[in-house]
């Protein structure tokens, strides 16, 4: 597991480098829950506040053509959201990043310290860091 960039008592945010795209984020729920509709509405809204807060941070830093947000988890049935900045010259645009690549793709990496600082500005101070 990559070191978290931001965390509170319910969820944490990591970054992942996707070939042909660049840096994306994942927001992972700490509790072992499979489906969003199993969460109580307050917990669900708090989780989505973080997901859409990460979206806003990535929009500000990466200036993507579009944001993609997805909860799949077919392999790992534990709630997590992919928050993905998309670019017209990434390997998959305009398809989903799970489709076959259309081109080599220009990767847009984001600096981890800058991303971490922007998350703390956008989401507030993390309240329960992972280790």
Q: What x/- string results for residues 102 through 131 when contact with a copy of itself is judged by CB under 8 A?
A: ------------------------------
Quote the CA–CA distance of 108 and 47 in Å, as a whole number.
26
Contact string (CB under 8 A) for a copy of itself, positions 18-57, x = contact? ----------------xxxx---x--xx--xx--xx-xx-
Distance CA 109, CA 112 (A): 9
Q: Are 80 and 19 in contact (CB under 8 A)?
A: no
Q: Is 96 in the site for a copy of itself (CB under 8 A)?
A: yes
Among 66, 102, 103, 128, binds a copy of itself (CB under 8 A): 66
Q: How far apart are CA 55 and CA 47, in angstroms?
A: 13
CB atoms within 10 A of CB 64: 20
Residues lying near a copy of itself in the complex (CB under 8 A): 34-37, 41, 44-45, 48-49, 52-53, 55-56, 59, 65-75, 77, 86, 93-96, 98-100
């Amino acid at each position: 597991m990559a070191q978290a960039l931001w965390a509170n008592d319910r969820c944490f945010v990591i970054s992942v480098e996707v070939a042909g795209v660049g840096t994306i984020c994942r927001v992972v729920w700490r509790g072992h829950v499979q489906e969003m509709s199993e969460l109580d509405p307050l917990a669900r809204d708090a989780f989505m506040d973080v997901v859409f807060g990460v979206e806003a941070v990535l929009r500000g830093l990466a200036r993507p053509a579009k944001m993609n947000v997805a909860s799949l988890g077919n392999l790992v049935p534990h709630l997590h959201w992919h928050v993905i900045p998309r670019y017209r010259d990434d390997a998959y645009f305009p398809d989903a990043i799970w489709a076959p690549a259309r081109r080599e793709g220009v990767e847009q990496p984001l600096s981890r310290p800058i991303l971490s600082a922007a998350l703390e500005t956008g989401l507030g101070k993390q309240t329960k860091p992972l280790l």
